[in-house]
Amino acid sequence: MSSSQPIDLRLPTPGCYADPIKAGIDADAVFDGMTEHLFFTLGKLATSASLRDLYMALSYAVRDRLMTRYLASQEAIRAKPHKTVAYFSAEFLIGPQLNNNLLNLGIQEEAEEAVKRFGIESLNDILEVEEEPGLGNGGLGRLAACYMESLASLQVPAIGYGIRYEFGIFNQIIRDGWQIEVTDKWLKGGWPWELPQPDESCFVGFGGRTENYIDDQGNYRSRWIPSEHAIGVPHDIPILGYRVNNCDRLRLWRADATESFDFYAFNIGDYYGAVEEKVASETISKVLYPNDGTDEGRRLRLKQQHFFVSCSLQDMIRSLETRNIPVEQFSENWTVQLNDTHPAIAVAELMRLLIDNHHFEWDQAWDITNRSVAYTNHTLLPEALEKWDLNLFKSLLPRHLELIYEINKRFLQQVRLRYPGNDLILRKLSIIDEEGSKAVRMAHLATIGAHNVNGVAALHSDLIKRQLMPEFADLWPEKFTNVTNGVTPRRWVALSNPELASLLDQEIGSNWITNMDLLTQLEEKENDSNFLDVFGATKLLGKRKLAGYIHRQTGILVDPSTLFDVQVKRIHQYKRQHLNALQIIAQYLRIKNGTAHSIAPRTVIFGGKAAPGYLMAKLMIRFINGIAEVVNADPDMDGKLRVVFLPDYNVKLGEQVYSATDLSEQISTAGKEASGTGNMKFAMNGALTIGTLDGANVEIRDRVGKENFFLFGKTESEIMKLRKNGYDPKQYIEKSPELSEAIRLIELGHFSNGDNELFRPLLNSLTGYDPFFVMADFDDYLLAQDRVSKAWQNHKEWNRMALLNTARSGFFSSDRSIREYCSSIWKVNPLEVEITCNIN
Ligand code: 26V
């Protein structure tokens, strides 16, 4: 566990890095550090500093305090080789950094005191200013961020490799009920958390051709002569673990042009042509693709993937070389995790670097690649499984295609031996899809190249084996495993719910934050009436804050004593926000008809972005806003029902929402949501779930107890059966008076100012083909909502159930997930970083 030699980071002069202005962690030192940065870094006098200036000054002061730990962590690996995790992900949705770093350093109170000396009322005013880097779409990117935080907190050496998009996920505004996308300019005011390292830049090629040659020793070799190049410039973000010295790194690559422009073209007078190549190279890291879950097959996206993967692998090999470790020992020093297939080109790129550049034989290169790489699948949706048109692939990565053909040839030979004469299985398993126009299947490349393939929840991992890749699972049963997702309790409890956190500290001590299993001690309190009241009161505080936010953002007044019923996540048909919307209409009708006898007064809150090209999802947003407009304007609904669509759902807003929720909506069609991670954040914060048996909901229900979970809906196998037997949504509509009435009202234009065409595509989809079985699950959903209403009547009982959710949610800490990855897939151990000079 512990490294033998503590690391000495002392400077020759003037002394230690422990200069108090740079490293001291009491309020005086933080204040002095801020003052210095205001003056020297920002060129501002304390007397005229704005909130933004103070945010920047505090961030720089905090960053200084990370540096000793950050450098000591790198030095520890340099001094003594240790296997390191390389987490490859096209997305890292890390959220605001300042408060997280204050928490992990343990200086939130000191910072609060320091900022007060600048006349600021509360640290929150400064935290508010921080712009979050939206470098991800949703669950997949946020998971990568939680995992980086847990890796550092568990003292595991790790680097997250990804792309430094200039524009992250778009900002969403709502105009006339519609989503409008606005460019996310997160870098505009300067972002203090990154350290550019231009001297560690890497070259990446694209296009061109391959050629064979005989080298000086007479060996027959291949090489790639690209027609285009870009430079990757690393931008490093320190990721400090919770109350440890280990500080890992997120290394994001920015694409630069190789030459600032083409002087030959410039000299012959082609100024525009000269700038063109520069623009093309720099376009690579311009923008994050916002199409969560649909594979658009765009050339630029493949370029992005190869760009960051190639830079990262070169960086990893170079790091071995600078430490005099032979490249043969790659897999003893690195373990590469592919976050979905987006970085799957790594399999071919590592082979290319080893064979073409380092002159390894095929078998040894394959052995190294296979031992190093593991792949996580995050979706079963066919439209999200990446495939690249063969011609596009060949034109961009001709050498990689040759290597993929060779990988495929050798693999299919193995399959032939195992299943002689079975051509069908060869076609099914081949990396090259030969049905229709030819394509490269990235999931097959990843599965063949990796030593482990995992799903992200028990049900999902099971479906990978049974439905998505049965032939692969048959071939390599031991390769397919499960690691249920998790979320970091630092961000999702301690930072986002300080009231609950301090209640937990008081009751069970503060160790829960690194050992969430300790939360089970709360079970002893389930019948302690006073404690349940206090627990309920912390929730109410969160709801009050959210109510204030809702009012400021939307002008809608909501009552914090009502049931806060929340669905926040990307807008998608399979996530069925429209099922929730239909349920609201049914409740609205009951209130109008005077049949709403025991319904709980509710505030139904939605948040989430739709992919810009996903018209049905955008219409769902419009639909929710149409309902909100009618419901909120109707005096009959006062005190009974409110509907809110919160614009621009992101990490920062998530932090406000999870702690303020009573009811968590997890209502996807069974078999469609790989895991979900919002469901875990809600449960930890004491929300009850209404949900289907999908993704991690299954495991949440198993752990919190079925009596503390509102279950409804068809199971995955029932859905399969329905589909097989010819599903007809109309039958369900006819059988359900409340559903028929709701649909009739929409058809009449009741929620669209009389326009009976607006929601036609949505209605047609639901009543015609209903691909996500909304109609089939509607009645059962409504019954479950009735059980929710009933449970809400008894507040004490509700709080007891909520408490048990928190108490039993420890399993969903990302610390547990990361421990599983470390022991069963990565085979890595922690490396404790010690620091000799006194930095406190
Ligand atoms: C796919 C694509 C396809 C090409 C265009 C851009 C793009 C962007 C993202 C994706 C990934 C879709 C897969 C995904 O996000 N899966 C989610 O992963 C979560 C973490 O494991 C999991 O909790 C969610 O259930 C799952 O939907």
Cβ(130) – ligand 1 distance below 6 Å: no
Strand partners, 402: none
- Cα 623 to chain centroid distance, Å, stands at 27
Strand partners, 389: 439
Within 8 A by CB and 6+ apart from 598, the residues are: 786, 789, 790, 793
Whole-number Å distance between alpha carbons of 820 and 826? 9
Asked if 621 and 179 touch (Cβ cutoff 8 Å), the reply is yes
Residue 624 has pLDDT above 70, yes or no: yes
Whole-number Å distance between alpha carbons of 4 and 301? 45
Would you state the pLDDT for residue 158?
Answer: 98
* Ligand 1: nearest atom to the Cα of 676: 23
Asked if 461 and 454 touch (Cβ cutoff 8 Å), the reply is yes
- Nearest 5°: phi and psi at 463? -70, -30
pLDDT in tens, 720-730: 999 999 999 99
Would you state the pLDDT for residue 339?
Answer: 98
Whole-number Å distance between alpha carbons of 515 and 6? 27
Whole-number Å distance between alpha carbons of 563 and 641? 10
Residue 814 has pLDDT above 60, yes or no: yes
Whole-number Å distance between alpha carbons of 699 and 701? 5
Asked if 528 and 620 touch (Cβ cutoff 8 Å), the reply is no
Would you state the pLDDT for residue 834?
Answer: 84
Whole-number Å distance between alpha carbons of 123 and 113? 8
Q: What is the mean pLDDT of residues 304-311?
A: 98
Within 8 A by CB and 6+ apart from 423, the residues are: none
Mutate to test the pocket of ligand 1, among 379, 488, 679 (most ligand atoms within 8 A of CB): 379
Q: What is the mean pLDDT of residues 610-620?
A: 97
Cβ(289) – ligand 1 distance below 6 Å: yes
**One-letter identity of residue 566:** V
In angstroms and rounded to an integer, the radius of gyration of the C-alpha atoms of the chain is 28
Would you state the pLDDT for residue 459?
Answer: 98
Closest to 239 in 3D by CA, of 89, 387, 73: 73
* Ligand 1: nearest atom to the Cα of 290: 6
pLDDT in tens, 661-687: 999 999 999 999 999 999 999 999 999
Whole-number Å distance between alpha carbons of 700 and 485? 11
Cβ(341) – ligand 1 distance below 6 Å: no
Cβ(171) – ligand 1 distance below 6 Å: no
Q: What is the mean pLDDT of residues 176-193?
A: 97
Cβ(138) – ligand 1 distance below 6 Å: yes
Within 8 A by CB and 6+ apart from 125, the residues are: 51
What percentage of the chain reaches a pLDDT higher than 90? Answer: 90
CA dihedral 702, 703, 707, 709 (to 10 degrees): -80
Would you state the pLDDT for residue 273?
Answer: 65
Bigger pLDDT: 635 vs 383: 635
pLDDT in tens, 74-105: 989 998 999 999 999 999 999 999 999 999 99
* Ligand 1: nearest atom to the Cα of 485: 21
What percentage of the chain reaches a pLDDT higher than 70? Answer: 95
Residue 12 has pLDDT above 50, yes or no: no
Identical topology for domains 81-95+132-484+823-832 and 507-715+773-809 = yes
pLDDT in tens, 111-145: 999 999 999 999 999 999 999 999 999 999 999 99
Which class is 507-715+773-809 in CATH?
Answer: alpha beta
Mutate to test the pocket of ligand 1, among 89, 137, 296 (most ligand atoms within 8 A of CB): 137
Q: Which CATH architecture has domain 81-95+132-484+823-832?
A: 3-Layer(aba) Sandwich (3.40)
Would you state the pLDDT for residue 384?
Answer: 82
Angle at 439 between CA 438 and CA 440, to 5 degrees: 145
Whole-number Å distance between alpha carbons of 44 and 242? 32
Give catalytic residues, as residue numbers. Answer: 378, 569-570, 575, 677, 681
The three state secondary structure string of 369-399 is HHHHEEEECCCCCHHHCCEEEHHHHHHHCHH
Over the chain, what is the mean pLDDT? 95
Using CA atoms, how far residue 496 sits from 141, 227, 657, in Å, is 19, 49, 9
DSSP conformation letters of 764-794: HIIIII-TT-HHHHHHHHHHHHHHHHHHHH-
Whole-number Å distance between alpha carbons of 242 and 309? 29
Within 8 A by CB and 6+ apart from 298, the residues are: 289
Cβ(384) – ligand 1 distance below 6 Å: yes
* Ligand 1: nearest atom to the Cα of 456: 21
**One-letter identity of residue 671:** G
Cis peptide before 343 (omega within 30 of 0): no
Confidence band, pLDDT 50/70/90 cuts, at residue 602: very high
CA dihedral 276, 280, 286, 287 (to 10 degrees): 120
Cβ(300) – ligand 1 distance below 6 Å: no
Separation of 673 CA from ligand 1 center, angstroms?
10
Asked if 577 and 606 touch (Cβ cutoff 8 Å), the reply is yes
Cβ(295) – ligand 1 distance below 6 Å: yes
Q: Count Cβ neighbours within 10 Å for each residue of 441-478 and write b for 16 or more, e otherwise.
A: bbbbbbbbbbbbbbbbbbbbbbbbbeebbeebbebeee
Mutate to test the pocket of ligand 1, among 342, 378, 571 (most ligand atoms within 8 A of CB): 378
According to DSSP, residue 583 is labeled H
* Ligand 1: nearest atom to the Cα of 673: 25
Cβ(694) – ligand 1 distance below 6 Å: no
Asked if 375 and 338 touch (Cβ cutoff 8 Å), the reply is yes
pLDDT in tens, 418-458: 999 999 999 999 999 999 899 999 999 999 999 999 999 99
Separation of 93 CA from ligand 1 center, angstroms?
12
Residue 7 has pLDDT above 60, yes or no: no
With 0-12 CB in 10 A as exposed, 13-18 as middle and 19+ as buried, what is 137? buried
Confidence band, pLDDT 50/70/90 cuts, at residue 837: low
The three state secondary structure string of 7-55 is ECCCCCCCCCCCCHHHHCCCHHHHHHHHHHHHHHHCCCCHHHCCHHHHH
pLDDT in tens, 264-300: 555 666 666 666 777 877 899 999 999 877 777 799 9
Would you state the pLDDT for residue 261?
Answer: 46
Mutate to test the pocket of ligand 1, among 292, 301, 383 (most ligand atoms within 8 A of CB): 292
Q: Count Cβ neighbours within 10 Å for each residue of 414-426 and write b for 16 or more, e otherwise.
A: ebeeebeeeeebb
- Hey, where are the domains in the chain? 1-80+107-131, 81-95+132-484+823-832, 507-715+773-809
pLDDT in tens, 733-782: 999 999 999 999 999 999 999 999 999 999 999 999 999 999 999 999 99
Q: What is the mean pLDDT of residues 619-640?
A: 98
Would you state the pLDDT for residue 382?
Answer: 85
Within 8 A by CB and 6+ apart from 126, the residues are: 51, 54, 55, 58, 98, 115, 120
- The region of weakest confidence among 201-215, 264-278, 351-365 is 264-278
Confidence band, pLDDT 50/70/90 cuts, at residue 610: very high
Angle at 99 between CA 135 and CA 543, to 5 degrees: 90
Bigger pLDDT: 331 vs 269: 331
Residue 407 has pLDDT above 80, yes or no: yes
Residue 6 has pLDDT above 70, yes or no: no
Whole-number Å distance between alpha carbons of 673 and 96? 27
Asked if 442 and 305 touch (Cβ cutoff 8 Å), the reply is no
